[in-house]
């Protein structure tokens, strides 16, 4: 990962599109943002997304700050207006096999590789991702300050939520449609009562404990 080019300083009041504008002024475009959803869940897949924007998206923000309805609206706008969007889904068993952090980095790389438009610069949320083949920057709380990362967070979150709602039909005892596989009290009670299903991440401490209890 690299630093921003000289002269590409981002002002605090630059707004959500400040990084993309500053990079474009330096000729570092198009800019791709990458993010994932499901890292903290103990069931269901990890979903990574890469997005390239060339125009503003009304109401765009970090997916965690948006209501479900607003996320769905932003999802449709991004899919309609983005230059390019890519999504990678890593199933729970693969997260267990690779280890979560390794699976996360690999998914972000794969999402970028699936873009049909080659980015000139990559913005990642929080931690650096090496081996991208183009310059990039890890941005602290990037999904709140960089539009392309925020867009990627929305695509990843909505995609994963839809998967978890579908999964609820196969495993209704766990109420995946409500908590989306995260470790809520309701989910933990279901784990203790029924044990884990095929979609649980068996390397997680609470899932292993439920397996041992049964």
Q: Summarize pLDDT for 34-58 with one digit per residue, the tens.
A: 999 999 999 999 999 999 999 999 9
Q: What digits encode the pLDDT tens for the residues 118-161? A: 999 999 998 888 888 899 999 999 999 999 999 999 999 999 99
Question: pTM higher than 0.75 for the full model?
Answer: yes
Phi, psi dihedral angles at 136 (to 5 degrees): -160, 175
Please report which residue ranges of the chain form alpha helices under DSSP H. Answer: 18-25, 68-81, 92-98, 100-113, 142-145, 147-170, 176-179, 185-194, 205-213
Tokens encoding 144 = 């709140």
| Residue pair 43/199 in contact by the 8 Å Cβ criterion | yes
Q: Count of domains in the chain?
A: 1
Domain assignment present for residue 179? The answer is no
What CATH number has the domain bearing residue 66?
3.30.420.10
Task: Calculate mean pLDDT across residues 185-197.
Answer: 96
> Is the pLDDT score of 70 beyond 90?
yes
Q: Output Rg (C-alpha) for the chain, integer angstroms.
A: 18
Tokens encoding 54 = 């060339």
Domain assignment present for residue 10? The answer is no
pLDDT of residue 1: 46
CA nearest neighbour of 117 among 84, 143, 139: 84
Q: How many CA atoms lie within 13 A of 39 on its CB side?
A: 17
Domain assignment present for residue 4? The answer is no
Domain assignment present for residue 156? The answer is yes
Domain assignment present for residue 150? The answer is yes
Domain assignment present for residue 160? The answer is yes
CA nearest neighbour of 59 among 44, 49, 73: 73
Burial 78-99 (b: 16+ CB within 10 A, else e): beeebbbbbbbbbbbeebbebe
What range defines the domain where residue 136 resides?
A: 18-167
Domain assignment present for residue 200? The answer is no
């Amino acid at each position: 990962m690299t630093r921003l080019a000289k002269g590409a300083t981002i002002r605090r009041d630059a707004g959500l599109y400040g990084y993309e504008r500053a990079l474009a002024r330096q000729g570092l475009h198009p800019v791709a943002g990458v993010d994932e959803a499901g890292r903290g869940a103990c069931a269901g897949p990890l979903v990574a997304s890469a997005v390239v924007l060339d125009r503003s998206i009304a109401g765009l923000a970090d997916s965690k700050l948006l209501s479900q309805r607003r996320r769905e609206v932003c999802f449709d706008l991004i899919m309609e207006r983005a230059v390019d969007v890519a999504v990678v889904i890593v199933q729970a068993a693969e997260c267990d096999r690779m280890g979560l952090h390794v699976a996360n980095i690999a998914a972000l790389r794969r999402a970028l590789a699936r873009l049909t438009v080659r980015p000139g610069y990559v913005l990642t949320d929080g931690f650096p991702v090496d081996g991208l083949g183009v310059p990039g920057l890890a941005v602290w709380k990037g999904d709140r300050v960089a539009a392309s990362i925020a867009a990627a967070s929305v695509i990843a979150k909505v995609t994963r939520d839809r998967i978890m709602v579908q999964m609820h039909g196969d495993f209704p005892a766990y109420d995946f449609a409500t908590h989306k596989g995260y470790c809520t009290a309701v989910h933990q009670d279901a784990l203790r009562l029924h044990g884990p299903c095929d979609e649980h991440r068996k390397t997680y401490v609470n899932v292993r404990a439920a397996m041992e209890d049964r």
